Amino acid sequence: MSKGRVLIVEDNMDTYELVHFILEKNGYETFLAMNGRDGVNATQKQKPDLIIMDLSMPEMDGWTATALIKRNKKTSAIPLIALTAHALPGDRQRAFDAGCNEYITKPMDLDELVEAVDYWMVRQ
Ligand SMILES: [Mg+2]
């Protein structure tokens, strides 16, 4: 039985494959959305237990998708971890302002990522 269902919103397939691999190895079930708009739709339809959100994506960026998910009462309680290469001053604060629960920068430490997922999964 899986430890939980994680939606990975990511437009870079190498990053997706890595996150998918490490989470499945640690007992999670994952599914993919390739841009912010699909991420918002998948969140509403599939009700994941946790969301990992890239920030820089086509169609709709991760800040906007996060804000839409967190403003919707039906999805606002789902924990959301921003995962991004953005390290500019202000990007982190913008992500927290949009409602993300945790912010992890790329290149990511896989242990840190799994710890963050374990932490937030039990706090939903
Ligand atoms: Mg991206």
Distance 12 CA to ligand 1 centre (A): 6
CATH hierarchy code of domain 5-121? 3.40.50.2300
Residue 46 has pLDDT above 70, yes or no: yes
**Per the confidence metrics, is the pTM higher than 0.75?**
yes
Give the Å distance between the CA of 36 and the centre of ligand 1. Answer: 10
Residue 52 near residue 16 (C-beta atoms within 8 A)? no
Domain boundaries, the chain: 5-121
Q: Is the pLDDT of residue 124 over 60?
A: no
Q: Which three-class secondary structure state does DSSP give residue 80?
A: strand
Contacts of residue 109, Cβ cutoff 8 Å, sequence gap at least 6: none
* 49 has pLDDT over 90: yes
80-84/102-105 β-pairing:
parallel
Residues 77-99: tens digit of each pLDDT: 999 999 988 667 888 899 999 99
Q: How far is the CA of 77 from the centre of ligand 1 (A)?
A: 24
Return the percentage of the chain with pLDDT > 70, whole number. 97
Between the CA of 1 and the centroid of ligand 1 the distance, in Å, is 30
**Which residue's entry shows tokens 């999670």?**
28
Does residue 105 carry a pLDDT above 70?
yes
Segment 8-32 mean pLDDT: 96
